[in-house]
Amino acid sequence: MPFLCIALINICSDLDTIAHLYKLPSILRQIIEILKLIEILVILIFIPGILLCALPLISLSDTPEEKKWLLHLWSITFTLLGSFVLTIILALLFDFDISPIMRVLALLATFLIHWIVYTGIFKFKLAQDQKEIKALLKIDTPIAVTEIIPSKVSNEKKEETFTKENSYFLKLEDLCKNHHIYRDSTLDREKVASMLGISSGYVSQLINTITGNNFTTYINHYRVEAVKDIILTDEFNNYSLLAIGLECGFSSKSTFHNAFKKVTGITPNSYRKQYK
């Protein structure tokens, strides 16, 4: 409503002073000038207020990726709107023509709006794909650390040999195969160590010795295998590869592509074309 009122005021004024379609009485012109001054004051208060109120809400984001994207958007918007407010203040103080600066800011604002719309639609489609993929897989949310009561580590168990029969390694395999803990994009050695009731260093030593891979490669192998299984299933033909990768635990497009190519030797897209 405030923006509609501002637009109507400017239109009425421009039809008089620029288009000369009619001539407003002097009293109405004075009222319009006062309203324009109020408009400037509202802008100077409203824009910083909205930005400052929006910043704390970003912390309520569901995922780190979403929070990162919102912070980038907030920073760009802050820079653009801050430049707009600063230009108005300088114009009031030094009385110079701000129209060239405003044209540039308007152009940048247009690009920003188009970028937000494009990114918003893309991310919405991505989120919808992930939700539908999760429903089709019929897999519950990966088991949380707090849901597992770690067993106490006895000295005898600590001295177990690092083979595939190691009880901790078997438990880790069970967590990956049956509980799908690899689908947690924030999974790290510390979380796994808490699940197993051992130290993070022991987790690394266990995986390195038995598989010959580091922790990240070991977990990514499960993620890649899950992606491959989904790609080969006809139900998922209409879903993007990125949505599939993110749902299988990868945190970003680059991480997904690099890990997939490292394991299979080809990109996810090439794999889909080759085996479908």
Q: What DSSP assignment string belongs to the chain?
A: -HHHHHHHHHHHHHHHHTS-S----HHHHHHHHHHHHHHHHHHHHHHHHHHHHHHHHHTT-SSHHHHHHHHHHHHHHHHHHHHHHHHHHHHHHH----HHHHHHHHHHHHHHHHHHHHHHHHHHHHHHHHHHHHHHHT-PPPPPGGGS-PPP--HHHHT--SSTT-HHHHHHHHHHHTS-GGG-TT--HHHHHHHHTS-HHHHHHHHHHHHSS-HHHHHHHHHHHHHHHHHTSGGGTTS-HHHHHHHTT-SSHHHHHHHHHHHHSS-HHHHHHHH-
pLDDT of 160: 62
41-47-48-49 Cα dihedral, nearest 10 degrees:
90
Name the residue among 211, 202, 124, 208 with its Cα closest to residue 164.
211
pLDDT of 146: 43
Query: Which residues of the chain are under the pLDDT cut of 70?
Result: 1-7, 10, 62-65, 139-160, 276
pLDDT of 156: 43
d(CA 248, CA 134): 9
Which amino acid makes up residue 146? T
Residue keyed to tokens 């790609």? 231
Name the residue among 136, 28, 118, 42 with its Cα closest to residue 85.
42
pLDDT of 177: 92
Give 10's Cβ-side CA count (13 Å radius): 10
The domains found in the chain, sorted by start residue, are: 2-137 (no CATH), 145-275 (1.10.10.60)
pLDDT of 150: 45
Write out pLDDT tens, residues 84-99. Answer: 888 878 887 887 777 7
d(CA 222, CA 94): 64
Write out pLDDT tens, residues 221-246. Answer: 999 999 999 999 988 988 999 999 99
